[in-house]
Amino acid sequence: MAKQKVIVLVAPTGGMAFKSQNPNLPTQPAEIARDVYDCYNAGASAVAIHARLPNDLATCNSDIYRDINTRIRAKCDIVINNSTGGGIHGDMVKAFEDGMFDTVWAERLKGMDAGAEMCTLDACTFNSSFNGTEVLLNTPPSRCRELAEGMKQRGIKPEWEVFNPAHILQDVTSLIEQGYDEPPYIINMVLNAHRGFQNAMPYTPRILQSMVDLLPKDSVFCVSGIGPAQMPAGINALLLGGAIIRVGLEDNLYYRQGELATNVALVERTVRLLREMDYDVATPTEARKMLGLPRTDTSVRPQFAMS
């Protein structure tokens, strides 16, 4: 009997943390590409990229994304996923008159324009709290459709990012039913972010099981387990039928309590555990087949055409 293939996905940077929290966090194109290549050599077959400005603040600037992507492509064939969420500082946010902050929609759209095979699609609205600042990620149904349509036009496979059951049952399911994606549906459930993201869910095995039960048929899923939930949630997801395990400093800055991590160390530990559990670590070529890449359903319904 063939061993089950598992995709190891590394998320090296994210759009929140700073080097002051972990000096191993890669933020600039050259160091991100170098870190991704080391993770690829350690067994990662997919990468979730967040870009940063020269001052290390978050951005979806397509030129910076393209620089990162080009540097990675020159080194290896790992599957590249660019974020359209961006982050909660830098040119991704603007201030309201009342002192609250909003994520800049026009900047989020730029995440699709750097030639990635996949992009995250946050089909949800929430407020995040970070360093005493509250930032709104406003993604109403019309914006969800615009992102989904833009990805379909560009041949980009969406990674649906969800934070609670309603995001699965309402936002993701509605867009799939409208024809904005085809199987397999790649869904990332973000758990244990509830202290910083309003309407997010904590990680428990029961909560994860309940969300897995709600996923559309033919879903290929993983969990972004935030902080100490990263490894238990990831392994739990595999036991529930997931085919992707996600690790990296975007979600977890520590290797163990009190010990700062590196992306490579997190990947190495994950690969070691997978092999001990008798899983087979997927290559990038195998990962593309499992994820439905390259995407071929690129026609868009006229009634939702973008201007």
DSSP for residue 197: B
Q: What is the number of structural domains in the chain?
A: 1
**CATH number for the domain harbouring residue 77:** 3.20.20.70
pTM for the model stands at 0.95
Sheet holding 93-95, edge to edge: 93-95, 101-103, 133-137, 126-130
Strands (E), 100-184: 101-103, 118-122, 126-130, 133-137, 157-162
Q: What is the pLDDT along the chain (307 residues), one digit of tens a residue?
A: 788 999 999 999 999 999 999 999 999 999 999 999 999 999 999 999 999 999 999 999 999 999 999 999 999 999 999 999 999 999 999 998 787 899 999 999 999 999 999 999 998 999 999 888 899 999 999 999 999 999 999 999 999 999 999 999 999 999 999 999 999 999 999 999 999 999 999 999 999 999 999 999 999 999 999 999 999 999 999 999 999 999 999 999 999 999 999 999 999 999 999 999 999 999 999 999 999 999 999 987 644 433 3
Q: How far apart are CA 89 and CA 17, in angstroms?
A: 10
Q: How far apart are CA 159 and CA 172, in angstroms?
A: 10
Is 60 within 8 Å of 43 (Cβ atoms)?
no
- Residue 282 tokens read as 């997927």
Residue with tokens 């904590």: 202
- HSE (CB half, 13 Å, CA atoms) of 263? 33
Nearest Cα residue to 168 out of 194, 142, 138, 207: 207
Q: How far apart are CA 140 and CA 142, in angstroms?
A: 6
| pLDDT recorded at residue 301 | 66
Q: Roughly what angle, to the nearest 10 degrees, separates helices 263-276 and 29-42?
A: 20
| pLDDT recorded at residue 100 | 82
Peptide bond connecting 140 to the previous residue in cis, omega within 30 degrees of 0? no
Q: How far apart are CA 125 and CA 132, in angstroms?
A: 19
Alpha carbon 236 to its chain centroid, in Å, reads: 18
Provide the greatest CA pair distance for the chain: 62
Burial of 170 (0-12, 13-18, 19+ CB in 10 A): middle
Q: How far apart are CA 246 and CA 34, in angstroms?
A: 19
Domain of residue 298: give its range.
5-304
